Amino acid sequence: MNFIIAKGVIRVPGSLPYPPRRLCVKIYRMGLRRASHAVYDCEYHLVWCPKYRKKLFGQEYLRERVKELFREIAEEYEFMIEELEVAADHVHILVSFPPRYSISTVVKTLKSISARELFREHPSLRQRYWKGELWEDGYFARTVGDEVTTDIIKQYIKYHEAEKQSPAQLDIFKLR
């Protein structure tokens, strides 16, 4: 079998302030991933918004920082981000993660750590989000499978800003 083994300690200067974790995930050529006691191929399209749907990420430096945070968190917790887009007022992520995590755990991890880091780095955000909550409580989750393929989700995430946001934007998901 041909596979890639990713091993290492994820702790570099300037990384997030949580303990290092040993990473050992085998990635098979067919897209299957293997953890210590599971072989899986689960991808999810996740979407959520900042609190009050404020256009927080209209500023490029915040947009890039939150992308960087999501990638660091994903690396630490063995999530694989296939596609990531941070719009002014919402986030799209196409992510795969081991079956030991639930969807809600993954969303909670990404939201809580990114919010804590952004509040720490940009104290002025605490004034805009006075209850100390950066993200809305809810989220959208869709599994990626036969009829809604990974390519369709990637296309939607990459090009959703090019079109004016409207109900017609959802035509990409219309099934036969």
Annotated catalytic sites, by residue?
A: 156
| Whole-number Å distance between alpha carbons of 148 and 13 | 40
Count of Cβ atoms closer than 10 Å to residue 156 Cβ: 19
| Whole-number Å distance between alpha carbons of 51 and 127 | 13
Tokens of 119: 């509040």
Q: Which of 75, 89, 73, 67 is nearest to 25 (CA)?
A: 75
Report angle CA 112, 116, 119 to the nearest 5 degrees.
Answer: 135
